[in-house]
Amino acid sequence: MLAFLKSALARADGEVWLRFLIAVGGLALAFAAAIFSTVARESGNAAGSVVFASAALLLAGAVGLTTVPYLARRVAVRRISEAFSYEVTREGMAYLGVALIIGIAALNTANNLLFMILAAMLAAIVVSGFASAAVLRRLALDVAIPEAAFAGRPLTARIRLLNPRRWMPAYSVKISGPPEKKKPAKHWELRKTEFVFPPKSKWLRIPDYSVRRTATGAKPPQIFSAPVYFTFVPPRASAEAQVPLQFPRRGLYTQEGCSIATRFPFSFLVKSRKVVLQRELVVYPALLEADDFLDVLPMITGEYVSYMQGRGSELYRIREYAPQDPARFVDWKATAKTGSLKVREFTREDERRLRLVFDNPAPGTVAEPAYEHAVSMAASLAWHFTGENVELAFVAQDYKGEPYLYDFLKYLALVQPAEGESILESMPVSADYNVVITARQPGTLPTALWASSYVIYM
């Protein structure tokens, strides 16, 4: 017997016993205060009766709030207690305040009617808890998010709420993302940069340093920020909502889960249940529609077509006849109009290859707005030339994807300035026409690129 008691005490949790003893002591004090309140009322001391009754209620409430929830998590119904979370609304606080006043008045007056009213009010809270839990039980979510998303462009996602129950509908259900966590800690970081004056001409360039605050341990932002509300979902049916989305910046967005909440039926409590929902969305860089892109594009297209002139089906120009030109390329209409022999010259469509090169700079080399503009320029050029019957290739530091548009867009969505050798030094020689986006000085570029490249400086 002694050994059994020793083993039982060894297995016992000290914190549980401490909370239990504190709860017993608190309830004993509350019971004593209630007895003193009755004695004071019988003796005609109204002030003492109110003080002791209030102390009894406060002690009992403190024990209920601090000890009962902790002990309830230790029992076999732990999964049920963790399945739902509760939040008291302002209406619920006002309702509990009225119930507390009625309870004090019932204890002081011993009026049975007040006790009946108090019991009805507490029963309404219990009924509200069971009803809201029944509304949320077995509800499921189906979320569909478009695969291609560009920063700054609106898109639409679909959230579908499923109610598989046979007979019970769902009322007043709100879908929202997980609550925002506190901001990650920040620290000061010294970064190498460069002072440039004037910004566009870059006549003066001096090495410089900048101090910035960077966040540590920051998590990707959430996909859904605004809540979605469903008024009514019938049994064995579903309700669907279209959710407009717009992301301000490129990068990775995640959704770790959603919360299904309801205030049904009396709005005393907001009862919510977490739903596991793992989603990731890579937001591509913003596609430029500004004058900078419209000014650069014609020059790239013109130099590219000039470089790729040859035998093909797309007319490049009409020029004077040369002895080595075949007779089948003679343009007789132009010859008749001018009186001299003219031939047609075509672009070389079988070799229309273009290589887009993104030379990722080191941290601090380029200001953040200029860097983001360069990333958007690369994405815009890749998007434009994909639909121009051009064989595209992509080159960048640490880019190992295939020559597919969306692989390169994903790389641009996640790229950040990084240390390392410039891609222009190790880029293989090719007959393709190159469009190079770089932060290097014009005099430092490899000479082999000048004959077949259009360079865009960050």
**Arithmetic mean of pLDDT, 176-192:** 63
Contact (CB, 8 A) for 397 and 420: yes
Residue 50: inside a domain: yes
| Residues 178 and 82 reside in one and the same domain | no
Q: Distance between CA 205 and CA 367 in Å, rounded?
A: 13
pLDDT attached to residue 77: 45
Helix (H) or strand (E) holding 405: helix 405-414
pLDDT over 90 (residue 126): no
Domain shared by 344 and 422, yes or no: no
Q: Which one has a higher pLDDT value, 263 or 427? A: 263
Position 350 confidence tier, pLDDT thresholds 50, 70, 90 = very low
One domain for residues 253 and 363: no
| Residue 50 clears pLDDT 50, i.e. is over it | yes
Looking up tokens 């692989």 gives 407
Of 213 and 312, more confident: 213
Whether 302 and 451 map to the same domain: the answer is yes
* Share above pLDDT 70 across residues of the chain, in percent, rounded to a whole number: 73
Q: Is residue 4 a part of any domain in this protein?
A: no
Element (H, E) at 135: helix 112-136
How many CB atoms sit inside 10 A of residue 250's CB? Answer: 24
Residue 6 included in any domain? no
Phi, psi for 257 (deg, rounded to 5): 170, 170
Considering the domain architecture, whether residues 242 and 167 belong to the same structural domain is answered as yes
Residues 6+ apart with CB under 8 A from 289: none
The chain-wide mean pLDDT, for the chain, equals: 78
pLDDT band at 80 (very low <50, low <70, confident <90, very high): very low
Residue 443 pLDDT greater than 50, yes or no: yes
The side-by-side arrangement of strands in the sheet containing 155-163 is: 140-144, 155-163, 237-245
* Strands annotated E in 63-144: 84-88, 140-144
| 280 and 176 both lie in a single domain | yes
Asked if the model's pLDDT at residue 256 lies above 60, the reply is: yes
DSSP 8-state class, residue 76: T
- In a domain? residue 324: yes
- Secondary structure of residue 67 in the 3-state scheme: coil
237 contact partners, CB below 8 Å, separation of at least 6? 163
Using pLDDT thresholds of 50, 70 and 90, give the confidence band for residue 174: very high
- DSSP per-residue letters across 182-214: PPPPEEEEEEEEEEEESTTT--EEEEEEEEEEE
Tell me: do 433 and 301 sit in the same domain. yes
Higher pLDDT, 294 or 130: 130
| Residue 399 within a domain | yes
The better pLDDT of the pair 165, 199 is held by: 165
Indicate if 262 and 171 belong to the same structural domain. Answer: yes
Q: Which amino acid is at 263?
A: R
Q: Does 123 share its domain with 146?
A: no
R_g of the chain, CA atoms, integer Å: 37
Q: Which residues contact 413 (CB under 8 A, 6 or more apart)?
A: 250, 251, 252, 282, 283, 284, 285
pLDDT at 307 over 70: no
- Name which of 20-29, 201-210, 423-432 the model is least confident about: 201-210
Is 5 inside any structural domain?
no
Residue 313: pLDDT above 80? no
CA-closest candidate to residue 356, choices 375, 373, 343, 337: 375
Residue with tokens 């130099």: 303
Residue 71: pLDDT above 50? yes
Phi and psi dihedrals of 191, rounded to 5? -120, 145
Work out the pLDDT band at 217, boundaries 50, 70, 90.
low
How many domains does the chain contain in total? 4
Contacts of 364 (CB under 8 A, 6+ apart): 191, 192, 193, 194, 209, 210, 417
Q: What is the mean pLDDT of residues 151-162?
A: 91
The conformation of residue 433, written as its DSSP 8-state character, comes to: E
Domain housing 234: 140-284
Q: Given this model, what pLDDT does residue 431 score?
A: 65
What average pLDDT score do residues 154-164 get?
91
pTM of the model: 0.61
Q: How far is CA 257 from CA 225, 254, 261, 278, in A?
A: 12, 9, 13, 6
Do residues 329 and 286 touch, judged by C-beta distance below 8 A?
no
202 is a domain residue:
yes
What's the sign of the alpha-carbon dihedral 212, 216, 221, 225?
A: negative
Do 168 and 235 meet the contact criterion of CB atoms below 8 Å apart? Answer: yes
Same domain, 301 and 321: no
Residue 340 inside a domain? The answer is yes
- Nearest partner of 96 among 119, 132, 125, judged by Cα: 125
288 vs 17, higher pLDDT: 288
| Rounded Cα distance, 49 and 324, in Å | 120
> Which of residues 191 and 138 earns the better pLDDT score?
138
CATH number of the domain within which 198 lies: 2.60.40.10
d(CA 37, CA 50): 7
- What CA–CA distance (Å, rounded) separates 175 from 173? 7
Tell me which of 78-82, 212-216, 328-332 is least confident.
Answer: 78-82
Domain boundary among 240, 269, 284: 284
- Whether 295 and 441 map to the same domain: the answer is yes
* Secondary-structure percent of the chain, ordered helix, strand, coil, rounded to 5: 40, 30, 30
CA pair distance 271, 199, nearest whole angstrom: 56
**Residues 343, 377: one domain?**
no
**Of 413, 328, 335, 390, which is closest to residue 152 (Cα–Cα)?**
413
